[in-house]
Amino acid sequence: MGVIKAVCTSTTKGTPKKNVGDGFLVSGHGLAGDAHTGSWHRQVSLLAWESIEKMLALGLEVGPGDFAENITTEGLSLVTLPLGTRLKIGSQAIGEVTQIGKECHAPCAIGRQAGSCIMPTEGIFIRILKSGPVKVGELIEVI
């Protein structure tokens, strides 16, 4: 079980996201208002705060949303979750892990700055199976 540390959105693809504190996860679509929503397998992206801390240790000034993740978690090892794992997000929403890692844009802004990026190996993607609100401080748990 983990905690939601940030809920982040952006209106355009390929840009860092901003922590807006809360949102609504829409079944079959993603995080309402985010540029990456749609009827595909990567509706919502998640990244662990522990992964971001690795970049902070390298001297980068980064935080939630800078890796274009929608939800930043803390206390849950995301990269060890098998495909198909279901997550309860907040009080109602349910998501299913559909992809671990991704190919970064060639190279992404973080990759240019640090020489590498964590999203390709430590970020995960889910599809939303059940709608519900999501906000900072709520639990995220494997079900």
Q: Which DSSP letter does residue 47 get?
A: E
69 contacts 119 by C-beta, under 8 angstroms: yes
Closest CA to 134 of 6, 38, 27: 6
25 contacts 134 by C-beta, under 8 angstroms: yes
Does the pLDDT of residue 36 top 70, yes or no? yes
Instruction: Give the H/E segment covering residue 8.
Output: strand 2-9
Strand pairing category for 139-142 and 2-9: antiparallel
Greater model confidence, 115 or 67? 67
29 pLDDT band (50/70/90 cuts)?
very high
Give the pLDDT mean for 99-108: 69
Does the pLDDT of residue 5 top 70, yes or no? yes
| Confidence (pLDDT) at 65 | 92
Distance CA 136, CA 72 (A): 9
| Confidence (pLDDT) at 120 | 67
Q: Give me the architecture of the 2-142 domain, per CATH.
A: Beta Barrel (2.40)
Give the pLDDT mean for 110-123: 66
What pTM value is reported for the model? 0.90
Does the pLDDT of residue 92 top 60, yes or no? yes
Does the pLDDT of residue 58 top 90, yes or no? no
